Structure 1
């Protein structure tokens, strides 16, 4: 087996174990991911020959040190929470703005899937699919990203890709009723 397949099997095994132990909300029970100090980010980045810093992680908004990096992460979290409150009130357009500001400070999977939800509500399906793709780049088995991208692709009439996303989702959560329902709709399309 290749290294990539072994790593994928490890991730699938761990995901299944967490699902069995904690149920479908296992991600919410994980501890927060610690912030990586700026000094470590710059030490680990390897610039390509063509563009200096091209492979470096996105720099925090305030690149003055660990305290400012932490402040940027905190600001991103606050903006995301403000976006969440706007979604609850049905103000998806304003929520998109908050999520977009948050993503400039911290590229987080949940923020991408939240903004994708808003784009779906606003019938901006191409943007919704793009956000889900970004979320899946960060977490390839994210159920919300797979489901929301499948919804967006369905609206864009890309039924084959939509079905592929639903089938990927069902490998992680075989009893996901919303996904099973969407798969039935896609089978009729």
Structure 2
């Protein structure tokens, strides 16, 4: 009896409607799919029970339909509802970012794309979107474009690297990858982080800095205490002209190793490009205190001091 009751309850009815919506979506019948997802949402909400993960997926799916038919405002509303139920879910983050971008709300789009890269740095759509928005905002607002951004949320570690683009529903449980897979030990994660870092090093030597940065990002998801991974990614960001990100990575490296010469030098390079000459000089002076004979540091210091005048 209990099994029959569950099978005929609101959750089962919603699942059936969701399946019908998915099929309609796959055939490009987006308006009809909206109707099925809306019915499913209504069934769950009317039941009075709490179905956060199921509702989050349904709102995200309906948002995908709205995005396809150009109803960006309703797409944003549904993605926001989805994220309120399951914070930092990847699909609604990227869909909302795309809708913001279509509406030329580039600052909000950048924040969502950037947040998505913090959740999972391997998702190319998020990386590409963030880079597009950065370019647009730099053209629009100049070098100080970041000053006009809405607050950037900090993604808790528990939500990082959980979401996979092809995972059904993309809901997850809020557990880390290591918690989800009991057979993955801390040592194997460190080994994987090392392998990813070495892959990044190979790509740097080939001049493929964007791909290398992605490898370093994936490595840092597994081991955020490796100083050289931050300085290596900072080098990539310098070559990609992502100077703010380079500064952030060098600062993270210096928190782990306050005497790291590469971190001081690369942060000085980035600050020079950002026209923060005072900060650049301070970094180089600290570096030369540690290694007075460093010729590269001396040359850059002379160059920045001339610019500062």
SS at match of 1:175: coil
Residue 233 (structure 2) aligns with: 115
Residue 189 (structure 2) aligns with: 72
Structure 2 CA distance, aligned partners of 1:85 and 1:123?
20
Structure 2 CA distance, aligned partners of 1:139 and 1:60?
27
Residue 26 (structure 1) aligns with: none
State the structure with more CA Rg. Answer: 2
How far did residue 62 of structure 1 move?
A: 1.8
* Aligned Cα root-mean-square deviation (Å): 2.3
TM-score, reference length from structure 2 = 0.41
Question: Within the alignment, does 1:102 sit opposite 2:201 as a pair?
Answer: no
Q: Tell me whether 59-68 or 85-94 shows the greater mean CA deviation.
A: 59-68
Structure 2 CA distance, aligned partners of 1:116 and 1:68?
29
Counting matched residue pairs gives 135
Residue 91 (structure 1) aligns with: 208
Residue 152 (structure 1) aligns with: 270
Structure 2 CA distance, aligned partners of 1:182 and 1:70?
40
TM-score, reference length from structure 1 = 0.67
Structure 2 CA distance, aligned partners of 1:135 and 1:147?
12
User: Which 5+ residue runs of structure 1 have no aligned equivalent?
Assistant: 1-53
Question: Within the alignment, does 1:62 sit opposite 2:200 as a pair?
Answer: no
Question: Within the alignment, does 1:171 sit opposite 2:289 as a pair?
Answer: yes
**Are the counterparts in 2 of residues 159 and 186 from structure 1 also a CA contact under 8 Å?**
yes
Structure 1 CA distance, aligned partners of 2:231 and 2:237?
10
SS at match of 1:62: helix
Structure 2 CA distance, aligned partners of 1:171 and 1:128?
22
